Amino acid sequence: MPSAIKAGIWLWVAFNLGLLAWVLMTSLKSTRDILLGPFALPTHIEWGNYVTAWDTAGFGQATLVTLIFVFSSLVLVMGFSLPAAYGLARRMDRTASTLTAYFAMGIALPMQTVLIPYFVVNTSVGQFMTDWVTGAWDPRIGLVVFYSATAIPWTVFVLTAYFRSLPSSLEEAAQLDGAGPWLIFRKIMLPVARGPVTTIAIITGLGAWNETLLVLFLVPDGAQRTLPAALLNMYYGLQYTSNWGALFAGVVLLVGPIVAVFLWLGRRIIEGATLGANK
């Protein structure tokens, strides 16, 4: 790799680390300290900013909603994508190629083009469930379904490419021992693909954690929204009181878990993302 590219990468890393440190430092400053010295150290550490952010934005409820949303989306996305990708990878007919192309087309579909159809369908289903079935409807169910529908094309496309890179001799040996397709998939192929599957699951989960646009469109009740939407609502409220320290504290509470995940699993993410390249 040329030295200029390495220098550029290190400069970009240093910039992001500096930005992260500045956000963390600003979250511990009073509004007066922020306005008088935006890049200076705090004269007094304001731990109350985190209490204000937590209470004002309702982060307790939003965190629970976000965790349920991330877990439910992961189960739905991976539960559909894994068998679908394996099936498409092992079929060599024209139908498999056509379906793979459709999933690839789904990756290129911008979110903005489906927001109104998602909203109309979610509202119609909610009205039907309320009037004719259960008497109530939680729009967060539609949020999980539609986010999963948006994430599945990418996961299927990537996993299909990886499963195709695996040698068919693994399955042939298992078939000689009498194993069926489901047993081969569950006991052999999934353990072999554990690295890429873990990587895709982490990326999908982080995408669900950061999802904001769908939440704002599909969940009208602010108390039922996830952390990014709760932070956005807090911004609208705190901008009139100029409590910038609490706003930055909210940013740290939102971004902190993501940074922790990357520090903990960053090497596994990179290894899983590049594992199929060496096949």
- Give me the domains of the chain, ranges plus CATH numbers: 58-222+272-278 (1.10.3720.10)
Positions in the chain short of pLDDT 50: 276-279
Cα 79 to the chain's mean position, in Å?
16
End-to-end CA separation in angstroms for the chain: 23
Give DSSP secondary structure letters for 5-46.
HHHHHHHHHHHHHHHHHHHHHHTTS-HHHHHH-TTSPPSS--
| pLDDT for 279 | 44
| Cα separation, 36 vs 26, whole angstroms | 12
Give the residue from 149, 130, 147, 146 showing the smallest Cα distance to 138: 130
pTM for this model (two decimals): 0.85
Whole-angstrom distance, CA of residue 195 vs CA of residue 272:
4
Q: How far is CA 111 from the centre of its chain?
A: 14
Q: In sequence order, what E strands does 116-275 have?
A: none
Q: Which two tokens stand for residue 111?
A: 């979110």
Q: What is the CB neighbour count within 10 angstroms for residue 117?
A: 10
Report the C-alpha gap between 218 and 148 in whole angstroms: 14
CB 62 within 8 A of CB 227: yes
Count the residues in the chain: 279
Q: What's the pLDDT at 152? A: 92
Predicted local distance difference test score (pLDDT) of residue 194: 84
What pLDDT does residue 277 have?
Answer: 44
Whether 50 and 27 have beta carbons less than 8 Å apart is answered as yes
**Tokens 């189960």 -> residue:** 75
Structure tokens, 257: 């878990």
pLDDT tens per residue across span 57-78: 788 889 999 999 999 999 999 9
The answer for residues whose C-beta is within 8 angstroms of residue 191's C-beta and 6 or more apart is none
The pLDDT, as a whole number, for residue 273 is 58
159, 193 Cβ separation under 8 angstroms: yes
Residues of the chain above pLDDT 90, percent: 23
